[in-house]
Chains A and B, each alone.
Chain A
Amino acid sequence: MSLAVRPLARQAVEDRPEQKGRSVRVFSADISATGEPWLWALGGALALGIILIAGFLALIFWNGVTTFWPKPIEVVTLQGGTLVAGEPFRAGVYRPDAGIIAKLSSEQQAFVEENGGFAQRTLYRTANFDIYGDDFRWVSDYEVAKVDYPRDFYLFERQEWGNFVGRIKGVIIDNQPQEYVADVMARAQREARDRFNEIRSIERGDIGRINHRLEQERLSIRRAELRYGPAAPETLAATERAVARIAELNAEFTVHQKRIADIRGIDQRNRVVLEEVGGRTKETELSQIVRYYPSNAVTTPDKIGIYFSRWGEFLSSEPREANTQGGVLPAIFGTVAMTLIMVVIVAPFGVITALYLREYAKQGRLVSMVRISVNNLAGVPSIVYGVFGLGFFCYTLGITIDQLFYPERLPNPTFGTGGILWASLTLALLTVPVVIVASEEALAAVPRSMREGSLACGASKWQTIRYVVLPKALPGIMTGMILAMARGAGEVAPLMLVGVVKLAPALPIDGFAPFVHLERSFMHLGFHIFDVGFQSRNSEAGKPMVFVTTLLLLALIVLMNSSAIYVRNRLKRKYATGHF
């Protein structure tokens, strides 16, 4: 039944003696009774809210989706003859202040005057940070003489120093300078990248393993010392064994180092000479070039290829350039791992509390207190959980664990500092109310008749819950879990205190026993946004990355929420009759 389509005011006809002869429709109530202006205010508030939300989502979506699309390179000739080359980054209208206007030539002043004191300016991403010392440059429309789109300008994405915008002056292959030929360069660059990845795999795989084992050996000495005393024969024997193995490992280490040095040697012989728009040149090893393309000459299919290859890199590789470029794989991994551990912890507690409230407790003061507690847990600021997590989990529990189980690593903390386990526990505390409320709803939705049927058949209370109520309520409980995961995945403030870092050297799960390292700190998508947006050398350069990461995080959360809503709606339909 919709209220809005009702007649807004009753109408009646009334004859008045002095208006005889004219049939006038007169309202029994005047139009102020419909409260039209008030209705518009109410509706306007809702509409404004919707507009803001839609605008917000559209902003993030548009910026996130278009970030990886190859943009053209504009070469702008300024009126003084200076050349500026770069990708147009964003543009806007502004009002130059009097100080700036005073410095302009009379023509430029006239130009600005004509636009009513406003000017259009474009922010160019000029890249070449190593040459210019800056990534960006504003160009106002009154200083532009000419804009070109030269086809020989390339955009290079480099492993270090960010992007480079310029021409290719020549290629040096095996120390032989050559003319630039597209195919040769492309092949050489692919090979160089393969070598780069090989070095990385040696560093990560073999050398990582050796380092891990070296650390283990050192710890074994320390452990023996702690157990037997520094001068005991057992300690000496253990030390001797460990020293022998360390020597072996060091020899192995040298071998791998040599391999890397060899590959590096080849890398150094294959270079490319780049020239920026002003004519300054820069030699770069080919292996340092992640991707390059002639911005103004690429065809649309190529652009699509570049676009998806960038997404691929974003989703599957590690960050570079102080997190402002490259990928976010460790952050995705950290977010997912933390959320999963959290849900494993939160599930039993949430369900048990819901069972207590719905099935076991007698309604009374105690239940009222439990409910107040649940709502308080839901309402306490997340940062307070962070403080509690740091003080209790890290510094109280963690330090105790260290003293009991990892004395050989002291004074370096193992569990006595932020880590993924503590972060998960903290967030579990934070999200437990979500699970409780959803599970309670789900339990309430199980029709009374089913319970009564089960009990009538002679099942005990727990058997009824275990075999009848819980299976029926499971989808609803799952909804709660998913909602809790969505809440947990987006929470950042407490994580800043209990284990999130801007760059985690090692993932919490890897190939070394015991494979799951709950004590390690980790990266997180939400914190990545904060870090790149606020703590990088140039927040402007990090902005595109922030938008993409935001889009990813939002997509993750929207996905979780929509699936929860979907499950809930199905559940509601299923038990629609049993609800009241």
Chain B
Amino acid sequence: MDAVTEATKRRPGTEPQESIEQRRVRAFERDKGTRRSVILGEKVARGVITVGGLLVIVAVIGIMVFLVRVVFPLVTSGGVLNEANYRLDNSRDMVWVNSDEFQSLATTVGADGRAITFHIPTGREVNRTQLAFEGRTATAVGGLLTRDSVAMAFEDGTVRFIDVGFDIGTVARDAVPEGLERLDQRDELFEGRIFARVLTGDHRTIAPRYGVGEPIEVSKNPIIAIDYKRGGTVERPTIAFATVDSQNVARISQSSVRRNLMTGAETVTTTSGELPNLDLAPGAKVTGILLSGSGDRAIVATDDGMLYRFDVRSVKSPVLAERLRVFPEGVAVTSLAFLSGDQALVVGGSDGSVDVFFRIQRAGVDTADGYQLVRARSHEKQSAPIVGITEAQRDKSIATLGADGSIWYRQSTADEVLFRFNRRTDPATAAEFMVFPRSNGVLLVDKTGGVDVWAFEAPHPEITPRVLFSRVWYEGYSEPTYTWQSTAGTDLAEPKYSLVPLIFGTIKATFYAMLFAVPLSLMGAIYTSEFVHRNVRATVKPAMEMMESLPTVVLGFLAALVLAPLVEEWIGAVLLAFISIPLGLMLGAFTWQTLPARLALRLAGIPKFIFMFMAILVAGYVAYQLGPFFEDLLFYGDFKAWTAGQMGTGTPFMFLLLLPLSFMLVSYSFSRFYGHHYRMMLRGLEKTQAGWLDFARWAAFLAIACLVSLAVASFLTLIGFDPRGSVIDSYAQRNALVVGFVMAFAVVPNIYTLAEDALNSVPGHLRAGSLAAGATPWQTAMWVVLPTAASGVFAAVMIGMGRAVGETMIVVMAAGNTPIMEWNIFSGLRTLSANIAIELPEAVKDGTNYRVLFLAALTLFVMTFVINTVAELIRQRFRKRAFQL
């Protein structure tokens, strides 16, 4: 159209002297080809629109790919970054090593008090000091988790505390001194201090710190094992240390330091107590002693595979709490360590095994304090005897050293060996080793000054498919569980990343929501599509559609702040309403049947619908009035106490639960045996009479059903079955009942609209044919319309389910957010979506929790993707079929 006008404009036939003939010729000469711009525009439009249209596919795939990309490093990331091996000059008998958290400097201390500080990546010596040991030689060493404070025990039975930490500071970029000596890419050296440029342009400085405390005399004999812990507050620290001397006498000492605020002077008071006689088997030797962080437990290990656990809460009179054989005879316990947090005890044996023990309180154990050490995890065995175990400072990792020089870096929670290294230093030389503070490497120094460094990256060591999806035995738990607890009060708590309770919560919420939503919406949709007047439909349908875009935050708010307290207060009435409303409707229906045909016909349209409203409202009011009475009658006046199992039996609830079942049973058996006879009888009666007869039949059925139900419930109780503890259990205010109900409210409009659409698109001639053949509208709807639309209706339910699975705000607000796994309708839950909404805003970017939450999102995405794709495929097929009819 445009092209034509343009063409005319360009060559206007303006010469007046032209004859008609000439004009006609000129008209033929006109350029009738399409202009190039139009063709170009056409091509551009086609291209842009096609690309734009396909962008939707790109978006869906893009989202999935992005989520996978974020999740992927959980399983793949990490690897060895660097290995180094060198030898320190002139050093001997190295017994301790400590590093700063940036892997810049390490200090190693010899038994004679010689301390050497060196640059870790290059091995360059930075400082060398002699600690004031006064010529004595250390015989045992024990340090804190942070490794900067060490207790050294000597051959004369004394103990000294040594400080081998690092001072870390910042220097503004213009205050950096001249003449720095470059050590490597990152670090520069100046007067025994390391300078490293940080992101802001300033420099970080690291310098070693040395200190030696006064000797404390503990024993007359040389000490062969020591462990040391620090507790209390900064103002009033308490120090506890345990020692074993060469006579196998174990002692526990506690020092409290009192700092004078005026003078700054410290006074140390030490109290000591001897542990009860170990009563070792002849020839057995003590191989180690370990003290828990709060200084209340001491554990002594021997070379015949025994552990002795002492309760040392009272220093003066420690008690032997438990004696436990951990390894078979002949296998020595070679090393002991606590995982960070001091909850889990790691035991290494001379057969290469590394086992983790938890102290668990159990009824009926024969230990002195009611606790018991339980083998919770058996990690993969190393091929040579374990000679050392060292724990990571910030997570639940450990490094274990075998006599053959193999070092395995393991994650204890995930029960996984992350890295396997082999010493390049001589495996026969005893060595001291540590995991770097950020759990990103292992440093080993042998007695002769040989150094092995392995730097690695393991950003998400605690995540394995096993941790995410199966039972894990966590610290402090009495058995393996599915638990989600990504953050806790302290850094040392074990993070628990099981997605199972969240997936369970999602399924539970969806299940209860669908339990309410599916009957309500489908029945409503059938009624709207088949039985109501067009005008009613024209108001109800848009109203329902509008409810679809109702913000769920509003529903959540109402659920949590209005409905939940109300339901809690009126639980009796709510339960009664579940019975009274169906009963009320049935009562209405059977009464309606008794109406004379003429009257029933006249009232059939909107008046009947209004009567249904009335029936529900009256039933609701009855429930409200009789609720407390109902609660008194069946639940001893206090439903919440009843659910908690504090009183009564399970009979009343089972009676209610079995009532519909027994009603169905009764009516099925009746129609099976007497159905034909009964229908023939009805046919012989006038409509009103038939109605009354049917009414009587219904009432009788109800009575019989009640009796049957009561009998069965009593019988079940008699044989010891009680629903409490499974589907029914103690009542929480924000519970699955409320969530299910309100979520149904969010889902109903969705299912209703789609199902109604599907029913409505069944062609009218099918209905007409059925009605013409003599079927009633009810029979038509049930046996003609519904089967035809079944796939569409099913798709509607699927789509509604997809929505329920991902619903967030209602669950966040009304579900209590407790990640527990029980079907109890009166307990809270936490869904995948709510968990994301709660935890992701606080999660550190690219941290473990961040990635696991992305995994949760991916799980949700995949769940809904499958549901929606199936639903859409069904719907497309249905549409094609409905079109063909």
CA distance A41 to B66 in the complex (A): 47
Query: Are B589's CB and A2's CB within 8 A?
Result: no
| Contact A51 B561, CB 8 Å, known A24-B686, A352-B52 | no
**Contact: B56 with A432, CB < 8 Å?**
yes
Q: A370-B53, A380-B865 given. 12 additional CB < 8 A pairs?
A: A6-B771, A9-B776, A29-B774, A31-B593, A43-B527, A371-B872, A376-B868, A379-B867, A490-B554, A493-B837, A497-B837, A529-B557
Contact indicator A557/B70 (Cβ below 8 Å): no
CA distance A74 to B722 in the complex (A): 50
Task: List CB contacts (< 8 Å) of A49-72 with chain B.
Answer: 49-53, 56, 59-60
Chain B residues in 8 Å Cβ range of A34: 776, 778
In the complex, the chain A residue whose C-beta lies closest to that of B528 is A46
- Flag if B551 contacts A553 (CB, 8 Å): yes
Rounded to whole Å, the gap between the CB of B719 and the closest CB of chain A is 33
Which one, B291-299, B427-435, B540-548, is touching chain A?
B540-548
List residues 338-392 of chain A with CB under 8 A from any CB of chain B.
348-349, 352-353, 355-357, 359-361, 366, 368-388, 390-392
A173-190 vs B: 1/0 string, CB under 8 Å? 000000000000000000
Known contacts: A381-B833, A490-B553. The answer to whether A465 contacts B45 by CB under 8 A is yes
Encode A82-106 as 1/0 by CB contact (under 8 A) with B.
Answer: 0000000000101100000000000
Given contacts A7-B601, A383-B833, A483-B549, contact A46 B523 (CB under 8 A): yes
Contact with A along B828-840 (1 / 0, CB 8 A): 0000010011001
Q: Which residues from B are CB-within-8-Å of A3?
A: 530-531, 767, 771, 777
CA distance A353 to B50 in the complex (A): 8
Using Cβ atoms and an 8 Å threshold, which residues of chain B touch A461?
Answer: 42, 45-46
Q: A379-B799, A496-B837 are in contact. Are A50 and B569 (CB under 8 A)?
A: no
Chain B residues near A28: list those with CB within 8 A.
683
For the complex, what is the distance from the CA of A539 to the CA of B39, rounded to whole Å?
Answer: 65
Contacts of B864 on A, CB cut-off 8 Å?
Answer: 376, 379-381, 384
* B856 → chain A closest CB, angstroms: 8
Are A529 and B553 touching (Cβ within 8 A)? Answer: yes
Bound Cα distance A45, B582 (Å): 10
Sort A-B residue pairs by CB-CB distance and give the 3 closest, nearest first. A381-B806, A356-B53, A490-B551
Complex formed: what's the CA distance from A48 to B42 in Å? 54
Bits for B554-573, please: 1 = Cβ < 8 Å to A, else 0.
10111011100000010000
Residues 452 to 491 of chain A near chain B (Cβ within 8 Å): 454, 457-463, 465-467, 483, 486-487, 489-491
B556 and A530 contact, CB distance less than 8 A: yes
Whether B199 sits at the interface, judged by CB under 8 Å, is yes
The CA-CA distance from A316 to B868 in the complex, in Å, is: 43
* B520: interface (CB < 8 Å): yes
**Complex alpha-carbon distance, A530 and B60, angstroms:** 29
- Decide if A26 is an interface residue (CB 8 Å cutoff): yes
**B732 — which chain A residues lie within 8 A by C-beta?**
none
On whether the beta carbons of B613 and A47 are closer than 8 Å, the reply is yes
| Residue A300 lies at the interface, judged by CB distance under 8 Å to chain B | no
B41 adjacent to chain A (CB < 8 Å): yes
Interface membership of chain B positions 607-626, coded 1 if the CB is closer than 8 angstroms to chain A and 0 otherwise: 01100110111000000000
**In the complex the two chains form, what is the Cα distance from A533 to B588 in whole Å?**
41
The smallest beta-carbon distance between A50 and chain B, in angstroms, is 7
Residues of A within 8 A of B55 (CB): 349, 352-353
Encoded as 1 (CB less than 8 Å from any B CB) or 0, chain A from 3 to 39 comes to 1111111110000000000001111111111111111
Residues 404-425 of A, flagged 1 when their CB comes within 8 A of B and 0 if not, give: 0000000100000000000000
**What 1/0 mask marks residues of chain B from 346 to 382 whose CB sits below 8 Å from any chain A CB?**
0000000000000000000000000000000000000
Nearest-neighbour CB distance to chain A for B755, whole angstroms, equals: 12
* Residue numbers in A under 8 Å from B60 (CB-CB): 373, 376-377
Our pick among B521, B616, B857, B876 for the contact of A44 (Cβ within 8 Å) is B616
In the complex, whether B54 has a CB less than 8 A from a CB of chain A is yes
Q: Which of B1-9, B207-215, B328-336, B707-715 contacts A (4 or more CB under 8 A)?
A: B1-9
What is the bound-complex CA distance between A309 and B752, given in angstroms? Answer: 42
Q: Which residues of A contact B794 (CB under 8 A)?
A: none
Which A residues are in CB contact (< 8 Å) with B284?
none
How many chain B residues touch A (Cβ–Cβ < 8 Å)?
138
Residues of A within 8 A of B562 (CB): 59
Knowing A3-B530, A48-B520, the reply to whether A27 touches B553 (Cβ < 8 A) is no
Q: Which of A38, A42, A59 contacts B524 (CB 8 A)?
A: A42
- Compute how far the CA of A460 lies from the CA of B600 in the bound complex, rounded to whole angstroms: 62
Question: What is the CA–CA distance of A130 and B755 in the complex, to the nearest angstrom?
Answer: 56
- A368 vs B534: C-alpha distance in the bound complex, in angstroms? 33
Interface residues of A (CB under 8 A from B): 2-11, 24-53, 56, 59-60, 92, 94-95, 116, 118, 230, 348-349, 352-353, 355-357, 359-361, 366, 368-388, 390-392, 395, 411, 429, 432, 436, 454, 457-463, 465-467, 483, 486-487, 489-493, 496-497, 526-527, 529-530, 533-534, 539, 543, 546, 550, 553-554, 557-558, 561-562, 565
Contact status A382-B806, CB under 8 Å? yes
CA distance A465 to B615 in the complex (A): 55
Within 8 A of A (CB), among B32-75: 34, 38-39, 41-42, 45-46, 48-50, 52-57, 59-60, 63, 66-67, 70
In the complex, what distance in Å separates the CA atom of A546 from the CA atom of B555? 12
**Residues in chain A near residue B3, CB distance under 8 A:** 458, 460
Residues of chain B contacted by A37 (CB below 8 angstroms): 586, 589-590, 698
Chain B residues, Cβ within 8 Å of A382: 806, 808
Taking a contact as CB atoms under 8 Å apart, the answer to whether B684 and A26 are in contact is: yes
Q: What residues of chain B lie closer than 8 Å to A487, measured between beta carbons?
A: 549
Q: Which residue of B lies closest to A530 (CB)?
A: B553
Q: Chain A's nearest CB lies how many Å from the CB of B671?
A: 9
Q: Are A4 and B872 in contact (CB under 8 A)?
A: no
Is B836 a contact partner of A383 (Cβ separation < 8 A)?
Answer: yes
Q: B668 to nearest A CB, angstroms?
A: 14
Task: Give A500 to B779 CA distance when docked, in angstroms.
Answer: 53
Which chain B residues lie closer than 8 Å to A8 at the CB level?
A: 597, 600-601, 604, 776-777
Find out whether the CB atom of B687 lies under 8 angstroms from the CB atom of A27. yes
> Once the chains bind, are A369 and B553 in contact (CB under 8 Å)?
no
Q: Does A49 contact B551, Cβ atoms closer than 8 Å?
A: no
List residues 823-867 of chain B with CB under 8 A from any CB of chain A.
Answer: 833, 836-837, 840-841, 845, 853-854, 857, 860-861, 864-865, 867
Q: How far is the CB of A117 from chain B (nearest CB, A)?
A: 8
Chain A residues near B476: list those with CB within 8 A.
none
Query: Are A459 and B1 interface neighbours, CB within 8 A?
Result: yes
Rounded to whole angstroms, the CA-CA distance of A33 and B532 in the bound complex is 19
Please, which residues of chain A bring their CB within 8 A of the CB of B684? Answer: 24, 26
Is the beta-carbon distance between A529 and B779 smaller than 8 angstroms? no
Instruction: Indicate whether B871 reaches chain A with its CB closer than 8 angstroms.
Output: yes
| B782 x A384 contact (CB < 8 A) | no
User: Please, which residues of chain A bring their CB within 8 A of the CB of B586?
Assistant: 37, 40-41
Give complex CA distance A229, B533 in Å. 79
Least CB distance from A39 to B in Å reads 6
Question: Do A372 and B593 have beta carbons less than 8 Å apart?
Answer: no
Q: Is B519 an interface residue (CB 8 A)?
A: yes
Supposing A383-B837, A492-B809, A539-B561 touch, asked if A372 and B869 sit within 8 A by C-beta, the answer is: yes
| Nearest Cβ on chain A to B424's Cβ, whole angstroms | 40
Assembly CA distance A409 to B674 (angstroms): 86
Give the chain B neighbours of A377 by CB distance below 8 A.
56, 59-60
Residue pair B49, A355 in contact (C-beta under 8 Å): yes
Q: Which residues on A sit within 8 Å (CB–CB) of B52? A: 348-349, 352-353, 355-356
Q: Which residues in A have their C-beta under 8 angstroms from that of B41?
A: 460, 462-463
Q: In the complex, are the beta carbons of B612 and A40 less than 8 A apart?
A: yes
The complex places the Cα of A348 from the Cα of B690 at a distance, in Å, of 64
**Which residue in B53, B560, B615, B860 is a CB contact (below 8 Å) of A352?**
B53
Please name all residues of chain B whose beta carbon is closer than 8 Å to the beta carbon of A550 when the two chains form the complex: 554, 557
A483 CA to B690 CA, complexed, in Å: 52
B174 to chain A, nearest CB (A): 8
The reply to whether A230 and B683 form a contact with Cβ atoms under 8 Å apart is no
Instruction: Specify which chain A residues have a CB less than 8 angstroms from the CB of B853 in the assembled complex.
Output: 387
In the bound complex, CA of A352 to CA of B57 (Å): 13
Q: Max chain B CB contacts within 10 Å: which of A349, A391, A562?
A: A391
